[in-house]
């Protein structure tokens, strides 16, 4: 999917957001269903509401308040709203296909509604979603540690994308700003094909490289100087990823040695001030001088036959509830700007929480889709390439519930998603560790690798720690700092056969702030997986732990692929 570079930008975003939330959806749905059981005794009108997961905390609280009021429809049925967090693109795709029969929907950006309606009109002659209203707003910002932002002049003057991305390109990093003690300028943004904020960051880099603030042309994008500029920035990227929220929370947890700055939503800067984060320094929002973009969270009623007049009236009532003053004021406490212009902006939307409600002063011009696609093609050419070891558990327990079959399928989708210039090795482990394929460039080995994965079968014990140790050692033997180094390991049970202990392994692989680290992404596969140990391995390396099962393993692998 990553390789299909000519898909429309937001369609690509839509496809990738699938992986980000599907497993969360499963959990959330279960909880909600349990709550709904209380009302099973009386006639109920259920409203299914799919929405962008960025605003989950606010929607959860507000919907609970709405449901607690036990409102009734025109025919006397109890109205229950069932909110389902979902990637914005995914929610539109699901509606278009009729798979998820939501009654109302709210993606993160109105661009998704426009695309969905255009596609629906082309196919059926009518819109997919009716007129919309914004629920809340949040601008895209560069989140930066306050002392670092001040070193760039924050508080005294406005800072631009050009300055930040130029600093990211410089090998001497912070030394060029009289702060050699801070080392390299570590910059991060999400995957531009998977995440809205990543795409925005990439467009901003391209504008900066072209020396423009509007009117970007294909010639600008294809000019060698633009390409060199974007390449310089992208080579400094720590890693990519599909979730802006995850990126931000990693930054809060790991401090300035992990990232100097990242492209996030403004509400995440405010979230960083939650005392539980215990930050080394405050984070502040830089509103780039050249402009940024807004996430505007439109909500609308779905125009499909499963939405009856009674659903419509109830949905309108729920929308009015979300737009009413108490809910809009509550949105502020979650760091969002209310969409009701009558609600005054108040704390925490203030300088004490690193943000400035009088910003941004301008927005960047969104280029035509052909130019956006050219920018994405450019990114594919100049992005920081990855070097990955894929370590797959082939112990006997993988035979249960067809775990091995689904794992093969997921691993193959992962390999398909890697770029041609990435490198990969395949390592399998049961009682012993075996290199099925040594490190090699993806492009020439892709088909062979897919075949190897397709032929994996399960047998024997589990030497998980030895496998991670060996995979890690392969990086330290021949380091290649220009690449994102990562191990992706899938395991379904307890380690019984390793020669190395977990403690010894963790010491060996722990994150190195000088940037020579190998991140380990662990997947606890099935109900017998040892989540605690796998989580410890991921956290020691600033990677990420995932819960996998045969039903979602493909999505988990896809999401991991967005880190590269």
What residue ranges bind another protein (CB under 8 A)? 74, 131, 134, 137, 139, 158, 213-214, 289-292, 294, 296, 309, 313, 316, 337, 339, 341-342, 344-345, 357-365
Among residues 192 and 360, whose Cβ is nearest to another protein? 360
* Cα gap 473→467, rounded to integer Å: 10
Least CB distance to another protein at residue 317 (A): 11
* Cα gap 72→317, rounded to integer Å: 10
Among residues 340 and 555, whose Cβ is nearest to another protein? 340
* Cα gap 112→98, rounded to integer Å: 16
Q: Which of 174, 208, 202, 177 is nearest to 188 (CA)?
A: 202
Least CB distance to another protein at residue 297 (A): 11
Among residues 312 and 330, whose Cβ is nearest to another protein? 312
Coil, helix or strand at residue 535: helix
Among residues 217 and 535, whose Cβ is nearest to another protein? 217
Among residues 362 and 380, whose Cβ is nearest to another protein? 362
Least CB distance to another protein at residue 266 (A): 12
Give all strands (DSSP E) within 125-191, no chain letters.
129-134, 136-145, 187-188
Least CB distance to another protein at residue 319 (A): 12
166 and 288 Cβ atoms separated by less than 8 Å:
no
Among residues 275 and 342, whose Cβ is nearest to another protein? 342
Burial 206-228 (b: 16+ CB within 10 A, else e): bbbbbebbeebeeebbeeeebbe
Name 502's Cβ contacts closer than 8 Å, sequence gap at least 6.
465, 495, 533, 536, 537
Dihedral-angle region of residue 68 (phi above 0 means left; psi in -120 to 50 means alpha; beta otherwise): alpha
Least CB distance to another protein at residue 227 (A): 23
CA angle 26, 31, 36 (to 5 degrees): 120
Query: In sequence order, what are the beta bridge partners of 207?
Result: none
Least CB distance to another protein at residue 373 (A): 19
Chain centre to alpha carbon of residue 276:
22
Among residues 140 and 442, whose Cβ is nearest to another protein? 140
Least CB distance to another protein at residue 146 (A): 20
């Amino acid at each position: 999917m990553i390789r299909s570079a000519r898909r429309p930008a937001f369609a690509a975003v839509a496809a990738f957001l699938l992986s980000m939330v599907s497993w969360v959806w499963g959990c959330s749905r279960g909880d909600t269903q349990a709550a709904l059981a209380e009302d099973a005794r009386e006639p109920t009108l259920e409203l299914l509401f799919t929405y962008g997961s960025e605003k989950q905390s606010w929607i959860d609280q507000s919907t609970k308040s709405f449901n607690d009021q036990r409102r009734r429809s025109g025919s006397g049925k109890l109205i229950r709203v069932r909110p389902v967090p979902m990637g914005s693109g995914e929610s539109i795709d699901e509606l278009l296909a009729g798979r998820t029969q939501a009654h109302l929907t709210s993606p993160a950006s109105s661009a998704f509604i426009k695309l969905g309606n255009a596609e629906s009109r082309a196919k059926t002659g009518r819109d997919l979603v009716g007129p919309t209203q914004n629920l809340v707003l949040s601008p895209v910002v560069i989140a930066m540690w306050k002392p670092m932002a001040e070193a760039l002049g924050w508080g005294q003057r406005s800072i631009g994308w050009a300055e930040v991305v130029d600093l990211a390109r410089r090998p001497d990093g912070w030394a060029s700003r009289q702060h050699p003690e801070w080392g390299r300028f570590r910059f991060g943004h999400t995957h531009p094909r998977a995440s809205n904020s990543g795409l925005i960051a990439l467009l901003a880099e391209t504008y900066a490289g072209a020396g423009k603030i509007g009117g970007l042309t294909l010639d600008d994008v294809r000019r060698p100087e633009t390409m060199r500029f974007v390449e310089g920035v992208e080579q400094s990227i720590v890693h990519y990823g599909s979730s802006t929220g995850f990126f931000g929370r990693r930054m809060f947890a790991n401090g300035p040695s992990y990232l100097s700055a990242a492209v996030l939503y403004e509400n995440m800067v405010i979230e960083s001030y939650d005392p539980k984060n215990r930050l080394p320094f405050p984070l502040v929002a830089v509103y780039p001088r050249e402009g940024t973009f807004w996430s505007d969270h439109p909500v609308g009623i779905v125009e499909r036959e499963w939405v009856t007049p009674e659903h419509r009236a109830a949905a309108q009532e729920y929308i009015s509830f979300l737009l009413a003053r108490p809910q809009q004021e509550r949105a502020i406490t979650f760091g969002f700007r209310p969409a009701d212009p009558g609600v005054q902006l108040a704390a925490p939307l203030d300088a004490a929480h690193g943000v400035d409600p009088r910003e941004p002063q301008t927005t960047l011009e969104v280029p035509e889709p052909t130019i956006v696609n050219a920018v994405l093609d450019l990114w594919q050419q100049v992005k920081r390439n990855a070097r990955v070891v894929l370590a797959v558990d082939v112990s006997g327990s993988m035979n249960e519930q067809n775990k091995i079959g689904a794992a093969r399928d997921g691993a193959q989708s992962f390999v398909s998603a890697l770029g041609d210039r990435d490198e990969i090795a395949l390592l399998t482990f049961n009682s012993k560790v075996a290199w099925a394929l040594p490190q090699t460039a993806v492009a020439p080995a892709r088909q062979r690798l897919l075949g190897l994965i397709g032929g994996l079968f399960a047998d024997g014990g589990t030497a998980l720690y030895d496998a991670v140790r060996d995979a890690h050692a392969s990086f330290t033997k021949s380091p290649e700092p220009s690449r994102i180094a990562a191990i992706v390991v899938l395991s379904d049970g307890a380690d019984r056969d390793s020669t190395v202990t977990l403690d010894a392994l963790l010491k060996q692989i722990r994150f190195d702030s000088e940037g020579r680290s190998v991140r380990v992404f662990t997947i606890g596969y099935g109900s017998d997986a040892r989540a605690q140990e796998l989580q410890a391995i991921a956290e020691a390396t600033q990677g990420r732990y995932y819960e996998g099962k045969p039903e979602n393993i493909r999505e988990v692998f896809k999401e991991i692929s967005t880190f590269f």
